[in-house]
Chains A and B, each alone.
Chain A
Amino acid sequence: MAPDEGGSSVVRELLTDPARGGGKKESEKGPLSDEERKRRRRKIVALLLILAALIVLLIMLLRSVSGNSPLPGIPSDVPSHVSNIYGVEQPMGIAVSPDGNRIYVTESEGPRFVRVFNSSGDKIGTLKPPGPKGAWRLPVYVAVEPNSEDVWVSDRLREEVDVYGPEGKYLRAFKPTGALGKGANPLGLAFGPEGDLYMTDVRGKRQDQGVLVFKPDSEKPLRRIGKPGEFWFPNEITVDGNGNVYVADSDNGQVLIFDPKGSLASSIARGVGEGDLGLPRGVALDGEHLFVTDTTAHTIKVYDHPGNVSDVPRYLGSFGVQGVGDDQFQYPNGIAVANGKIYVTDRENNRLQIWSY
């Protein structure tokens, strides 16, 4: 065996340090010189720094396997990556059935289907509106009606919303009347607690764009949310259980939050500070969090879901950075939450990502 060196000799010397109760051995060897004491102290410091580094590494390891929580057992503010699902071309919108067993993803390239996956990531079907082979379409965003589980898909190019049954059967085309009294240019879709359909409309000029609310059985809007000119290419929309409406006001770089009466209650602003937004496209809620995809920042920002709608959501952190790695994004766009998981379309990486707390 090689002579004691390095760490083991440091430990042995610590044991023999008179300051740590090793006086007997010292007396056997005789008093230590000042130089030797200094050398031992330096070794103590070095050992403590090594221990500190090991602790840091341990914490980082624990964070990576326990939902980014700084310490085990403490809930994290941001979720952890679970898995990726491939087989979609330039995906945009995403929605999930309430039980999490059907994941609907719209494609903006290739055949431009709505791809349907099961919870294991297996492709179980495609949705497309009736029409001749090669007919043009552009599905953008999708929502699942919570009671019937019908699937509503906005088609910006065909300027209608296609409705499918939960098993994928095409039911009808919903052709909403827009703010101009003619057709709408639908993007984001969501259902409110009262069963109404909320839709962002980007038809026409800036002053004409906004949020329209419909009864699902009527193509004429019940009301409009927001003032003329308030929105600029509003994208995804979501509604919480109290009827508060969250809109990704994309080109204005902000998320606008309206109370159930349609009055602007609060917002998350555009900017360069922590928690500020750049190009928000997707919004989704779980019971505690508001998630916003910041497309050109290639990340998902997480805020608390305030109990009072007039409170500005508090920024908690973000997940994902730009790249092609498993937990990295290239232009994330749509987002959905269901069954305790967060689903995000990762457009330029041609996949969707699943995250969870």
Chain B
Amino acid sequence: MIPDEIRKKNRRLLIALIIFALSLTALIIILMILRGPTKTY
């Protein structure tokens, strides 16, 4: 029997993963906006 505690810990880790993904996505987009268009193709 798997204790509910494990599932709760896993949920917290998933939320941390989402926050990390959001932060890095935002950082990349902000850096691209600050840099401006550079595409040459």
Partners in one complex: no
